[in-house]
Chain A
Amino acid sequence: MPKSTRFKILSERAINKETFVEPWPEAGLTVTDSPNDPRPSLTVDAGKVVEMDGRERADFDAIDIFIADHSIDLDRAEAAMGTPSVDIAHMLVDINVPREQVQRLASGCTPAKLIEIISHMNVLEMMMGLAKMRVRRTPANQAHVTNWREHPALLAADAAEAALRGFAEVETTVRVARSAPFNALAILVGSQTGRGGVLTQCAVEESLGLRLAMKGLTSYAETLSVYGTERAFVDGDDTPWSKAFLAAAYGSRGVKIRFTSGTGSEALMGLAEGRSMLYLEARCLLVTRGAGSQGVQNGSISCIALPESLPGGVRAVLAENLIASMIGLEVASGNDALASHSEIRKTAKLMLQFIPGTDFIFSGYSAVPKQDNLFGGGNFDAEDFDDINVLQRDMQIDGGLTPITESEALAVREKAARAIQAVYAALGFPPISDDEVEAAVLAHSSQEMPERDLVADLAKADDFLGSEKNILDVIKALEQSGFTTIAANILEMSRQRLVGDYLQPAAIFDKNFRVKSAINDSNDYAGPGSGYRVQDERWQEIQDIPQAKSPRDFIEANIGEPSAKLVELETPKRGNQQEVVVAVGPAFGTSLNRTIGGLEHEDVLAAILTGIAHEGLMARIVKVYHSSDCAVIGHLGAYLSGTGIAIGLQSRGTTIIQKRGLAPLNNLELFPQSPSLTLKTYEDIGRNAARYAKGLPVKPVAVEIDNTARLRLIVKTTLLHRHETEAVRDRPPVELLFNWEPD
């Protein structure tokens, strides 16, 4: 087959590095609608579920039993199962049906019923549903802070910056499991430096995670993974009962938990039992609810590339977020693991959570570069901060991030690195040198960090975990080293832990340690004008990206002293000689004296006149006062020209070659891309105009095409044109004397 250049280019695009497969339900490789998915049904006898989703109680597996006995609110089941699924789908998008009403119905649904409701919805409807069903009114975001070297100063500095950037939770993990207590400590100190009240966790094996929490080093835990088939659950080394017990164990130490699930995990483990990913996820979510977890991290998480290889995968991931919120769970909605090679695809997928808003839009935004992200890359990372900030500003959406300046970032990074240095010194950990602190302040990645003695660090980390030392020693060390605010923030986190307000659904703290949860900040979205709105102070914060400049001083470089070489004469008459009229805009050489490309008006005029002179013609210069429009300026010039040929020139540099008799918006040649025009181009324009005037054949002036010029310069163009328009006067044109000698 002959090769097409276009198809070759397409094959090399990032999107074509992805793997796409056709559904194969028997292998669990279908996101929804497996022929093996059951139809919804529920039979309750004497207060006990005896049949669910087509399966008799005698045939229940452990997950069925747990869901039947703990997850479904039987007092609501009859109404829920008796309401047609399409009606519940309608309620999800109907702004007149309050969230609570839908949640009550959803809490009486079986897994198959939840899937059937969603089957009626497209992504737009699901986004509407999510905006309403999200349990916390205020959306938020979570950061991942890790680094390949597990360097404590860099962890602290990055956690501080993440906190300053607005993340409400910061999660770290380990490369070497034994580093866990030190990594947890570093991000705790760092986050409380950036902003008091940020919740922190360290993702490690379940028992170790609980140990860290007991020591006061973490305030929440979310890697309590659940699975939708019994065998996958057991392969994950837990049962619904052990996971529920673990949840209560965390709660008993005042630690917030959320479970983790997500489409695709069972298929990846080869244990999907031929069910669709979304059906299995609905089972996970009901186990989560039944265990009494306040929330869930879902949205496929680390398996995301698997549903994305299948048709409808991204829709299914949104569906799982929605189902979780329907049954009252806090949702940290994925967007964490690397999901695509394509920037377009990644961003498009993100919009499904970003626009409606979720409790945590990312369940881990990589606040470090990809190579330092120990969660497997990070779908969006530290290099994308400004992009997300601009998306928030574009759409007036709160994605949980706040724009910051470099100096603000460096200040908290330094303070955090110094603070962890002080803690290490006071607790007898291997010292952190001043060089390490200084490197951590400015580093982007751990490649810029000095190496540490990992063996010594791990030995002390083991000692610390096994010792009686705890958070009180850390607070004391900080206080006595002069880091009083950080010490006070960590103490306040400990006090909050004694009160437990943040064990309620979707709890976060604001900078004043005021808890915001589904109890006191419950989502009351009920259509336009209701619910969470980006407004007032928060909207100002989102608008104020450091890159934004005041438009008032945008064109200072184009403004200067009026040209001394241009002198106004009398009102011109129509000529009768072999001439080209150069008609200029009202601000030309006076209130503006440079083009948008930075060329002096005097030089531009000289170049045009040189071009005309080379063809042996005269030039007459006329300033138009009654309009700033390039076509009108050129049209008037042509009217006055003895040959009927004129050049119209706006102060910003936009140029036209016009002929008398042509309609104003028609022309001989137009040069709209003024930033690309050089003095050579202007000379060529002068020459061409003269050749038109002489009736000679003319080859149009070649202009470099720059497709980004308008994109880059449209604000400047607007302001220059505004400036020229301000110079418009209701008066006739004047002839100009240009005090210039040709070379």
Chain B
Amino acid sequence: MINEDDNYPMMEHAPGTIRTSNGRRLAEITMENVESGVLSADDMQIDAQTLLAQANIAREAELKQLAANLTRAAELTAVPNERLLEMYEMLRPGRSRFEQLMALATTLEEQFNAFENAAFIREAAAVYRERGLLRRES
């Protein structure tokens, strides 16, 4: 089921296709560019397309749950650090009301094109409501 994938490792087989989340080519991530200060924190950040390619490799290896996770990860590359931490916090038990989670799902869809994550959060909201995991009103 897990077979040597033609594209894997991507570092060996497809380095030319890799971009940073800033759009820079992998070949530009060099010591000279570190020293000259050309590179920014975003150049250290994996790109959504790369994560989707890794998701594809996982799917071909019949690892569909891992593939789904990497697909959600690809979507979340668009979310800034602080927002991402806030979203995680909202999903923890007892943090959010049902409507807040639904609104989060909408934001993910509309602002970040994160449809898989949005569906995942709507699903969580329904379960939280059923199982008493939503924020309790005082």
The one of A292, A471, A476 in contact with B70, judged by C-beta atoms closer than 8 angstroms, is A292
Q: Are A518 and B61 also in contact (CB < 8 A) when A62-B127, A252-B73, A254-B46 are?
A: yes
* Interface status of A608 (Cβ within 8 A of chain B): no
Cβ–Cβ contact B29 & A495, under 8 A: yes
The one of A65, A100, A207, A498 in contact with B47, judged by C-beta atoms closer than 8 angstroms, is A498
Cβ–Cβ contact B123 & A241, under 8 A: yes
Chain A, interface residues (CB within 8 Å), range: 35 or more
Cβ–Cβ contact A104 & B117, under 8 A: no
* Interface status of A435 (Cβ within 8 A of chain B): no
Write out the residue numbers on chain B whose beta carbons fall within 8 Å of the beta carbon of A216: 44
Stretch touching chain B among A231-239, A340-348, A611-619: A231-239
Cβ–Cβ contact A494 & B65, under 8 A: no
* Interface status of A328 (Cβ within 8 A of chain B): yes
Number of A-B contacts (CB under 8 A): 212
* Interface status of A468 (Cβ within 8 A of chain B): yes
CB B91 to nearest CB in A, in angstroms, measures 4
Q: How far is the CA of A415 from the CA of B62 in the complex (A)?
A: 44
* Interface status of B107 (Cβ within 8 A of chain A): no
* Interface status of A246 (Cβ within 8 A of chain B): yes
**Residue on A nearest B11 in the bound complex, by CB:** A499
The one of A471, A476, A519 in contact with B61, judged by C-beta atoms closer than 8 angstroms, is A519
Cβ–Cβ contact B65 & A251, under 8 A: no
**Residue on A nearest B74 in the bound complex, by CB:** A252
A-contact bits for B98-133, CB 8 A (1 contact / 0 none): 000000000000000000010011011001100101
Q: How far is the CA of A497 from the CA of B41 in the complex (A)?
A: 13
Cβ–Cβ contact B41 & A245, under 8 A: no
The one of A241, A471, A505 in contact with B91, judged by C-beta atoms closer than 8 angstroms, is A241
Cβ–Cβ contact B10 & A480, under 8 A: no
The one of A292, A476, A505 in contact with B34, judged by C-beta atoms closer than 8 angstroms, is A476
Write out the residue numbers on chain A whose beta carbons fall within 8 Å of the beta carbon of B58: 504
B-contact bits for A514-554, CB 8 A (1 contact / 0 none): 11001110100000000000000000000000000000000
Cβ–Cβ contact B46 & A498, under 8 A: yes
Most buried by A among B15, B50, B65, B91: B65
* Interface status of A479 (Cβ within 8 A of chain B): yes
* Interface status of A491 (Cβ within 8 A of chain B): yes
* Interface status of B137 (Cβ within 8 A of chain A): no
* Interface status of A69 (Cβ within 8 A of chain B): yes
Cβ–Cβ contact A328 & B63, under 8 A: yes
The one of A61, A289, A470, A498 in contact with B26, judged by C-beta atoms closer than 8 angstroms, is A498
Cβ–Cβ contact A519 & B8, under 8 A: yes
Cβ–Cβ contact A249 & B65, under 8 A: no
Cβ–Cβ contact B50 & A249, under 8 A: no
Q: Are A73 and B39 also in contact (CB < 8 A) when A210-B85, A239-B93 are?
A: no
Q: How far is the CA of A480 from the CA of B32 in the complex (A)?
A: 11
* Interface status of A326 (Cβ within 8 A of chain B): no
Cβ–Cβ contact B2 & A251, under 8 A: no
**Residue on B nearest A58 in the bound complex, by CB:** B130
In A206-265, which residues have CB < 8 Å from any B CB? 206-207, 210-211, 214, 216, 230, 233-234, 237-239, 241-242, 244-254
Cβ–Cβ contact B69 & A471, under 8 A: no
Cβ–Cβ contact B11 & A251, under 8 A: no
* Interface status of A35 (Cβ within 8 A of chain B): no
**Residue on A nearest B67 in the bound complex, by CB:** A292
Q: Are A290 and B54 also in contact (CB < 8 A) when A252-B77, A501-B11 are?
A: no
Write out the residue numbers on chain B whose beta carbons fall within 8 Å of the beta carbon of A237: 92-93
Write out the residue numbers on chain B whose beta carbons fall within 8 Å of the beta carbon of A328: 63
Q: Are A207 and B77 also in contact (CB < 8 A) when A254-B46, A498-B47, A503-B70 are?
A: no
The one of B9, B66, B124 in contact with A501, judged by C-beta atoms closer than 8 angstroms, is B9
Q: How far is the CA of A237 from the CA of B10 in the complex (A)?
A: 36
Cβ–Cβ contact A470 & B41, under 8 A: yes
Cβ–Cβ contact B51 & A251, under 8 A: yes
Q: Are A292 and B79 also in contact (CB < 8 A) when A210-B84, A241-B121 are?
A: no
* Interface status of A291 (Cβ within 8 A of chain B): yes
Cβ–Cβ contact A252 & B84, under 8 A: yes
CB A299 to nearest CB in B, in angstroms, measures 21
Q: How far is the CA of A84 from the CA of B21 in the complex (A)?
A: 49
Write out the residue numbers on chain A whose beta carbons fall within 8 Å of the beta carbon of B39: 472
Cβ–Cβ contact B35 & A500, under 8 A: no
Q: How far is the CA of A259 from the CA of B77 in the complex (A)?
A: 21
* Interface status of A135 (Cβ within 8 A of chain B): yes
Write out the residue numbers on chain B whose beta carbons fall within 8 Å of the beta carbon of A238: 92-93
Q: How far is the CA of A224 from the CA of B19 in the complex (A)?
A: 29
Cβ–Cβ contact B88 & A135, under 8 A: no
* Interface status of A628 (Cβ within 8 A of chain B): no
Cβ–Cβ contact A254 & B45, under 8 A: yes
**Residue on B nearest A257 in the bound complex, by CB:** B69
CB A240 to nearest CB in B, in angstroms, measures 9
Q: How far is the CA of A232 from the CA of B2 in the complex (A)?
A: 34
Q: Are A519 and B66 also in contact (CB < 8 A) when A239-B93, A479-B31, A500-B46 are?
A: no
24 pairs from A and B in contact (CB 8 Å cutoff): A103-B1, A207-B85, A207-B89, A211-B85, A230-B131, A234-B94, A239-B127, A241-B91, A245-B120, A249-B84, A251-B51, A252-B75, A472-B41, A479-B31, A488-B31, A495-B26, A495-B29, A498-B44, A499-B10, A504-B8, A513-B11, A515-B9, A519-B61, A520-B8
- 12 additional A-B residue pairs with CB within 8 Å, beyond A251-B70, A475-B31, A499-B11: A71-B65, A241-B128, A251-B76, A290-B65, A291-B65, A292-B66, A293-B69, A491-B31, A499-B18, A500-B10, A504-B57, A505-B2
